[in-house]
A and B are shown apart, each in its own frame.
Chain A
Amino acid sequence: MLTAFLLFFPVAAALLLHFAKGNAARVLALGAALLEFAVAVFAAVSATLNMAPGNSEAAYSTFSINLPWIASAGINFHIGMDGLSLLLVLLTTFLVPLIILASFRHDYPNASAFYALILFMQTGLIGVFVSLDAFLFYFFWEVALIPIYFLAGVWGSERRIAVTFKFFLYTIIGSLFMLAAFVYLYFQTGANGAVRSSDIAAFYSLSLTASQQAWVFWLIFIAFAVKMPIFPFHTWQPDTYTESPVPATMLLSGIMLKMGIYGTLRWLLPVVPLGTSQWGKLVMILAVIGIIYGAIIAIRQRDMKRLIAYSSLSHVGLMAAGVFSLTFMGLQGAVIQMLAHGVNVVGMFFIGDVIQRRTGTRQISELGGLTKHTPLLSVCFLVLLLGTVALPLTNGFVGEFLLLAGVYQYNMWLGAVAGVTIILAAVYLLRMFQRVMLGPETSFTSTIQDLTGSELAVLVPLIVLVFWIGLFPNTFLRISEPAVLQILTLVNR
């Protein structure tokens, strides 16, 4: 029941928002999101407490619901959470209230629709993370796309129409390939007169030939690669991130990008293990190219938001490489890095927004010397930035260490090349910090004010998590470990 509540509560709240106007809408939205977070935490705590050593099944069995949906076709409304899903649901429910809070400073026209879309989006995202039926998964995968399209397209900046159109086309074309693959797999479950089913267990137990798996792999992979995005499917990403309103950018980079990684873990590797081993190497190479490519372009950026967008591209490449290394460390690294990246990138975009709102510009060259007037802002910025650079004791370090170790285990040379990302990240992020926060003041920055209470309320929880994940990664790694081990068993079967 908890899972069903987590899934449907946001959309119910979104419908209610229709009756609220202006300020009431955002307060109501925030309240709903906080309640949702509380329930997710409760679910996580109760699962952790129930976890007997070596038996994770029991702890999560209460989360699962399996009802007939399109009964005649063997398609069920099957939802549930294991450790992996739980962590991503936690991340989603943690970030959404912060994203709503972060938008308080903006006066968005038609606010009730704006916040209703964010909550609607939350249902789509959680649906993706808890679906245990292929069509349900696809359903929510697409449902999540509709609100973000409107969020970015209606409330974005000047070039929003062309940019969001491109984004919508890219992602939906990718997902249609996935749908084709799912329909094919679904009919394969009916081979030899068996009853057809789209349940995840039925997909896992398919025995396809290597050549079937090879092309099914690509059909599914393209959908996930576009969403993450992996080089060369990324071209929609920097533009969309830049043109979207900040809450939409945060949703896209903080949570939606994880749909791709999560999908790979849950629906790609275990379903077509032979396809994965056949093409994994190529994907690794693409991912590593993406890492370096994103970082190099980030160095050249003049716009803060674009710089963060490219750095996100670089980081997601590393996560993809870790996943396709198919090692325990790589997968665990990807899981923890999903959380860490979500926290860091949302924080970075928020700070970019704070600076832009106060000075009216995002151009790095027009900024400088902010530190003098804004000590709080500088500290928060620095912490999040060092988390992104992967300084030891911060969240980024745990993730990148595990990921690089995994990639290194897979192939020494790829590991070495991917490792360059840490240096490059330090280059572009520290340079940005230096030029924005230090140095001489400019006409834009001389009268800037420090953070307000509500802005601190967004940043403090993020910073707490930066250190929590950095210092006690086991809190989270322990939850995901059984799920990751199970995925690896399935991949190596």
Chain B
Amino acid sequence: MTSIILLSVLGIVNLFFGFLKSNKILLPAAMVILALVFGANLLDWNAASESYFNNMLTIDRYSVAFTGIVVLTTLLLIPFSEKYVRDGQENLAEYYSLLLFALVGAIMMVSYNNLLMLFVGIEILSVAMYVVAGSDKRNVRSNEAALKYFLMGSFATGILLFGIALVYGATGTFELAQINAGIVNPANASLQPMLYIGMLLMFIGISFKVSAAPFHYWTPDVYEGTPTFFTAFMSTVVKTAGFAAFFKLLLAAFFAAQGFWVPTIMAITVLTLLIGNVGAVAQSSIKRMLAYSSISHAGYLFIGLVAVNGKLSANAIFFYSLAYSIATVAAFAVLKLVSDQRQREDYASFNGLAKTNPLLAFVMTVAMLSLAGIPLTGGFFGKFFTFGAAIDRGYIWLVVFAVVMSMVSIYYYLRPIIAMYMQPADDETAEPIVVGGFQSAVLVLLALITVVLGVLPGLLSEVF
């Protein structure tokens, strides 16, 4: 709870920094705020779980762990907004505050105990995203992205809300545990169709937020149009919070109706994996490739959901989200640095990067290997744990399908590596990219975390 309070208060304080003449203070201030929140959040780890607002929010280890991921991700991402500071971006304080408020929404999504809180959390997060998606006002693509995201997102929220209402109608409560009790209550048997339709509509709403197929169609366009810095935030924080929320919903509220939703979620999983991976192969822009890859990673995370294996799944989803977020931040950070200077986002813009910027090339390689799930990186163990949870439940065919899909993914994750190390630089790309010292340090840290997760997964493989 301290983290929510801190973020809300400091977010407003941060807005006032915007009145200062200089932009220089904003970046350190935002980092200090996030570091504070991260520390305060960790302090809650050993505290007994506590409920707030009439049991609408529960802060327990589950919420602390996922809050940790989203705050850490933002903290590591923020140094790469340095170009906005340099360019004297006039709305910078607002952007940072929006991200801080978005985090409040994300934290509510991982600690809700009541469907209304889930809804409020999603809305807080989404509204901030609608704004930042269009933050590059003079760019047509950014405007398009914002409009598309806003319209689609509003529909999705409407559908989610309708679903919540139907679930309420069928069970008479918004609270997770009581919904579960309501499902098995024989008195509600006649309301079962309403419950199922409500669940289905809720799944649609959340699937939209985590960009799972077939509700993914907005993802590539919005990711491409949104400024890279905010795309990175979308594909890590929003996704992590969405999955943590989804998992909690399935485990705590709908556990009793497994027979209904497991096949549904499984169908979404298969479709998401297929569309994400096959779609990514066809892309010529790295940013669009990362957008599709983010769809495919939603699919791998879904496997953890399908398994609903209590602790095993929760641990797997936690580890996967962490490894995925760190690697994705690294990938987007490199992409942002490269595209800021070279003004392009295709594979060829990475040509010869290993010669001009060995560090950038190395970090990108680690990120790509991790996303592809190759050992020595956290991504490998992320896949390993989620697949393990599913195999434990006997879904071998699903895992085989996911393995085949990750073979496909190797094709597109290798392409940036090939461009960086094996293609000669052409005139346009021969100039080294300017990278600040602090940014380099953060990049090294990102690569280091990925490798540590891959070599000593035991540190974080069993947090719950």
B396: nearest chain-A partner, CB-CB:
A184
- Per-residue 0/1 for A432-475: is the Cβ within 8 Å of any B Cβ (1 yes, 0 no)? 00000000000000000000000000000000000000000000
* Complex-state Cα separation, A68 to B411, whole angstroms: 34
Within 8 Å CB of A180, what residues of B?
Answer: 399-400, 403
Asked if B421 contacts A153 (CB within 8 A), the reply is yes
CA distance A168 to B411 in the complex (A): 10
Query: How many Å from the CB of A149 to the closest CB on chain B?
Result: 9
Please tell me which one of the listed residues A73, A154, A169, A179 contacts residue B422 in the complex, with CB atoms under 8 A apart: A154
Instruction: Knowing A160-B422, A179-B403 are in contact, say whether A70-B376 is a contact too (CB < 8 A).
Output: no
User: What are the interface flags for A29-68 relative to B under an 8 Å C-beta threshold, 1 for contact and 0 otherwise?
Assistant: 0000000000000000000000000000000000000001
Q: Is the CB of A70 within 8 A of B458?
A: yes
**Residue A146 at the B interface, CB < 8 A?**
yes
Whether A413 sits at the interface, judged by CB under 8 Å, is no
Per the bound structure, the CA–CA distance linking A55 and B16 in Å amounts to 78
Interface residue A72 (Cβ < 8 Å from any Cβ of B)? yes
Interface set, chain A 49-101, CB cutoff 8 A to B: 68-73
Q: How far is the CB of B440 from chain A (nearest CB, A)?
A: 15
Binds A, one of B63-71, B126-134, B387-395: B387-395
A187 and B418 within 8 A (CB): no
Q: Mark A98-138, 1 if CB is under 8 A from B, else 0.
A: 00000000000000000000000000000000000001001
Q: Cβ of A176 < 8 Å from any Cβ of B?
A: yes
Known contacts A70-B461, A139-B375; is-contact A176 B388 (Cβ 8 Å)? no
Q: Is B414 an interface residue (CB 8 A)?
A: yes
Residues of the B chain whose Cβ atoms lie less than 8 Å from the Cβ of A164? 422
Q: How far is it, in angstroms, between the C-alpha of A168 and the C-alpha of B384 when the chains are bound?
A: 20
Q: Is B374 an interface residue (CB 8 A)?
A: yes
| The one of B376, B391, B403, B411 that contacts A176, using a Cβ cutoff of 8 Å | B403
Q: Which residue of B lies closest to A177 (CB)?
A: B403
Q: Which residues of B contact A70 (CB under 8 A)?
A: 381, 457-458, 461
A143-B422 in contact (CB<8A)? no
Among B378-434, those with CB < 8 Å from A are 380-381, 384, 387-388, 391-392, 396, 399-400, 403, 406-407, 410-411, 414, 418, 421-423
Question: CB distance A154 to B407 under 8 Å?
Answer: no
Q: When each residue 169-182 of chain A gets 1 if its CB lies under 8 Å from chain B and 0 otherwise, what string results?
A: 10011001101100
Select B399's contact among A146, A161, A183, beta carbons within 8 Å. A183
Is the beta-carbon distance between A172 and B410 smaller than 8 angstroms?
Answer: yes
- B90 beta carbon closer than 8 Å to chain A: no
> Which residue of chain B has the shortest Cβ distance to A161 in the bound complex?
B422
| Chain A residues positioned under 8 Å from B249 (CB to CB) | none
The answer to whether B407 touches A187, judged by C-beta atoms less than 8 angstroms apart, is: no
Check A187/B422 contact, CB under 8 A, given A70-B457, A142-B376, A180-B403: no
**Cβ contact within 8 Å between B422 and A183:** no
Q: How many residues of B contact A (CB 8 A)?
A: 30
A180 to B399, CA, bound (A): 8
Residues of A within 8 A of B388 (CB): 73, 183, 186-187
Residues of B within 8 A of A9 (CB): none
Contact of B418 among A161, A177, A183 (CB under 8 A): A161
Per a CB cutoff under 8 Å, which of A143, A150, A161, A168 touches B375? A143
CB pair B406 A142 closer than 8 Å: no
Closest to A180 in B: B403
Contact A146:B418 (CB < 8 A) given known A72-B461, A180-B403, A183-B384: no
Nearest CB to that of A68 among chain B residues?
Answer: B458
User: Shortest beta-carbon distance, B407 to chain A, in Å?
Assistant: 5
User: Quick one: CB contact mask for A301-335 with B, threshold 8 Å, 1 for yes?
Assistant: 00000000000000000000000000000000000
Q: Which of B136-175 contact A (CB under 8 A)?
A: none
Please give, as numbers and ranges, the residues of chain A lying within 8 Å of B418 by CB-CB distance.
153, 161, 165
**Nearest chain A CB to B13 CB, angstrom units:** 41
Across the interface, name the chain A residue whose C-beta is closest to B381: A70
Q: Mark A138-170, 1 if CB is under 8 A from B, else 0.
A: 111011011000100110000011001100110
CB distance from B38 to the nearest CB of A (A): 25
What's the minimum C-beta distance from A191 to chain B, rounded to whole angstroms? 11
Residues of A within 8 A of B461 (CB): 70, 72-73
Shortest CB–CB separation between residue A163 and chain B, in angstroms? 11
- Chain A count of residues within 8 A CB distance of the other chain: 33
Instruction: For A183, list chain B residues within 8 Å (CB).
Output: 384, 387-388, 391, 399
Instruction: Return chain A residues, CB-CB under 8 Å to B380.
Output: 139, 142
Question: B340 in the interface, Cβ–Cβ < 8 Å?
Answer: no
In the assembled complex, B462 has its CB within 8 A of some CB on chain A: yes
Which residues of A sit under 8 angstroms from B381, Cβ to Cβ? Answer: 70
Separation in Å of the A49 CB from the closest CB of chain B?
35
Interface residue? B59 (CB, 8 A):
no
In the assembled complex, the CB of B151 is this many whole angstroms from the nearest CB of chain A, namely: 40
User: In whole Å, how far is B79's beta carbon from the nearest beta carbon of chain A?
Assistant: 24
Among candidates A154, A168, A173, residue contacting B421 with C-beta atoms closer than 8 Å: A154
Q: Is B115 an interface residue (CB 8 A)?
A: no
- By beta carbon, the residue of chain B nearest A168 is B414
User: In the complex, what residues of A have CB within 8 A of residue B376's CB?
Assistant: 139, 142-143, 146
B369 within 8 A of A: yes
Bound Cα distance from A179 to B399, whole angstroms: 11
* Contact indicator B422/A153 (Cβ below 8 Å): yes
Give the chain B neighbours of A150 by CB distance below 8 A.
421
Task: With both chains docked as a complex, state the minimum distance between the C-beta of B458 and any C-beta of chain A, in angstroms.
Answer: 4
**Distance in Å: Cβ of A491 to nearest Cβ of chain B:** 26
Shortest Cβ gap from A373 to chain B (Å) = 37
Given contacts A146-B376, A172-B407, A180-B400, contact A72 B462 (CB under 8 A): yes
Contact partners of A184 in chain B: CB under 8 A:
391, 396
CB distance from B350 to the nearest CB of A (A): 14
Q: How far is the CB of A2 from chain B (nearest CB, A)?
A: 21
A142 to B458, CA, bound (A): 19
Residues of B with C-beta under 8 A to A177: 403
User: What residues of B have a CB within 8 angstroms of the CB of A161 in the complex?
Assistant: 418, 422-423
For residue B96, give the distance in angstroms from its CB to the closest CB of chain A.
36
CA distance A70 to B381 in the complex (A): 10
Q: Which residues of B contact A173 (CB under 8 A)?
A: 407, 410
CA–CA, A198 and B400, complex, Å? 20
* Alpha-carbon distance A186/B392, docked complex (angstroms): 10
Residue pair B457, A142 in contact (C-beta under 8 Å): no
- Would you call B458 and A69 a contact (CB within 8 A)? yes
Q: Are A138 and B375 in contact (CB under 8 A)?
A: yes
User: Nearest residue in A to B388 (C-beta to C-beta)?
Assistant: A183
Residue of A nearest to B407 (CB): A173
Q: Can you list 22 residue pairs at the A/B interface with Cβ under 8 Å?
A: A70-B457, A70-B458, A72-B458, A72-B462, A73-B461, A140-B375, A142-B374, A145-B374, A146-B369, A150-B421, A153-B421, A161-B418, A161-B423, A165-B418, A168-B414, A169-B410, A169-B411, A176-B406, A176-B407, A179-B403, A180-B399, A180-B400
Knowing that A146-B376, A161-B422, A165-B418 touch, tell me 8 more A-B residue pairs with CB under 8 angstroms. A70-B461, A73-B461, A135-B384, A139-B376, A150-B421, A165-B414, A176-B403, A183-B388
Counting from the closest, the 6 A-B pairs by CB-CB distance are A72-B462, A142-B375, A70-B458, A139-B375, A173-B407, A153-B422
